[in-house]
Amino acid sequence: MRGHLILRVVSKILIPFLLMFALYVQFHGDFGPGGGFQAGVIVAAAFVLYALIFGLRAMQKIISPALLEIAVPLGVLIYAGVGVYTWILGGNFLDYNMLDSHDPSHGQHLGVLLVEAGVLLTVSSTMLLIFYTFAGRGR
Amino acid sequence: MEFLFNLILLLFLAAVTIGIIGVRNLFAVVVLSGAYSFLMATLLIAMDAVDVGMTEAAVGAGVSTVLLLSALHLTNTEEAPAKHSNVLPMALALLTGAALVYGTWDLPRYGDPDTPMNSYVGDEYLERSIPETTIPNVVTSVLASYRGYDTLGETAVIFTAGIGVLMLLYGRRRKGDDDEGGDRS
């Protein structure tokens, strides 16, 4: 899309705000609607927009498919890892109260934060990887 | 006012669906399904399910429209004429639709506080969530803390679905590369 000046300029302006909104949805999930799933799909949508305007090759220079293939299972591992860690600390699986020995509610906040980060990673990288394989087949 | 708003949105949804059935150009179908997702997202936001609406807008109207367009790139843009009669599938669809509408008669009124889902565990979550977890958004505390197992399962489902799609598409691409090496017939 080399010739489409307006599309390029507008999406260049839009993408930072899209990513910012995704981060807001991610980290504000404790207080307002949102969380890892929503933030993950918004991140994926922002990157897909970038790939549409500037080309798949430019996108893959920023995030390579090999990196995504690591990120997809890593998210699940972070989530399950939090569970295993609380196990080691002596609690039940995914018992976030164990994460902070002084104040259980801090443990809850930390646990939810980590778990949502895992969800974000898996959701966004899965969507992006599916887009890569779909878009790559047309050539 | 809200009733009127919902009615207009639902009428638009019906119009888009009829459009999707009628149109034979697949490009138009993809664009219409994007419009359908946007209307659905608006409807979900009108029903106060903002997080579901956000997901619908980003996935349904955004990413899946792009995926469908790239799939369209590999096929014809014109739907092939049906080889068999459409009467039987139409009857089946109407029957399923009628069964679903019949099912809604037994549903409780939207937002009814006396339904089982709003009166047993729901109350418990609302009462205990903030003292126990100090997370102000009860949806998040239920999703990530009380029902953390379920969400772990959901994440695993997304992981599995992603791996499944990748295995299908990767395998096919390698075969396609082989074809390009030989003569194309």
Task: Give contacts of B133 with chain A, Cβ < 8 Å.
Answer: 105, 108, 112
Say whether A35 and B143 touch across the interface (CB within 8 A). yes
Q: CA-CA distance, B96 to B103, in Å (whole number)?
A: 10
Whether A72 sits inside 8 A of B163 (CB atoms) is yes
How far B42 CA lies from chain A's nearest CA (Å)?
15
Q: The tokens of B111 are what?
A: 């937002």
Has residue A24 got a pLDDT over 50?
Answer: yes
| Residue-level pLDDT at B185 | 36
pLDDT reported for residue B183? 40
Of the candidate ranges B65-74, B101-110, B116-125, B139-148, the one whose mean pLDDT is the lowest = B116-125
Q: Does B50 touch chain A (CB under 8 A)?
A: yes
Cite the DSSP H helix spans in chain B: 2-22, 26-46, 50-55, 64-72, 87-104, 116-119, 121-133, 138-140, 148-181
Contact criterion met (CB below 8 Å) for B119 and A14: no
> Is the pLDDT score of A23 beyond 90?
yes
What confidence tier does B178 reach under pLDDT thresholds 50, 70, 90? very low
A123 vs B143, B158, B170: nearest CB: B158
pLDDT one-digit tens code per residue, A102-120: 888 888 888 889 999 999 9
Q: Does A56 touch chain B (CB under 8 A)?
A: no
Any A CB within 8 A of B55 CB: yes
Q: Do B141 and A134 touch (CB under 8 A)?
A: no
The per-residue pLDDT for range A36-80, each reduced to its tens digit, is: 899 999 999 999 999 989 888 999 999 999 999 999 999 999 999
Q: Which pLDDT belongs to residue B154?
A: 93
Name residues 96-135 of chain B within 8 A of A (Cβ): 132-135
Nearest CB among A32, A115, A137 relative to B137 is that of: A32
* pLDDT at residue B114, rounded to an integer: 82
pLDDT at B78: 83
Q: Judge: B71–A134 Cβ closer than 8 Å, yes or no.
A: yes
Q: Distance between CA atoms of A34 and A19, rounded to whole angstroms?
A: 14
- Contact criterion met (CB < 8 Å) for A35 and B59: no
Facing B169 at nearest CB: one of A41, A72, A134: A134
Report the percentage of chain A scoring pLDDT > 70.
97
pLDDT reading at A11 higher than 50: yes
> What is the band of B181 on the pLDDT scale with cuts at 50, 70, 90?
very low
Are A137 and B137 within 8 A, CB to CB?
Answer: no
Model confidence at B172, pLDDT cuts 50, 70, 90, reads: low
Q: Which of A33, A75, A138 sits opposite B74 (nearest CB)?
A: A138
pLDDT interval class at A138 (50, 70, 90) = low
How far, in Å, CA of B89 to CA of B84, rounded?
A: 10
Pick from B16, B56, B11, B21: nearest CA to B33:
B16
Angle (CA) A67-B68-B172 rounded to 5° is 60
Q: What percent of chain A has pLDDT over 90?
A: 55
Which of A19, A87, A133 is best to mutate for the B interface (most B CBs within 10 A)?
A: A133
Flag if A34 and B54 touch (Cβ within 8 Å).
yes
Give φ, ψ of B2 to 5 degrees: -65, -35
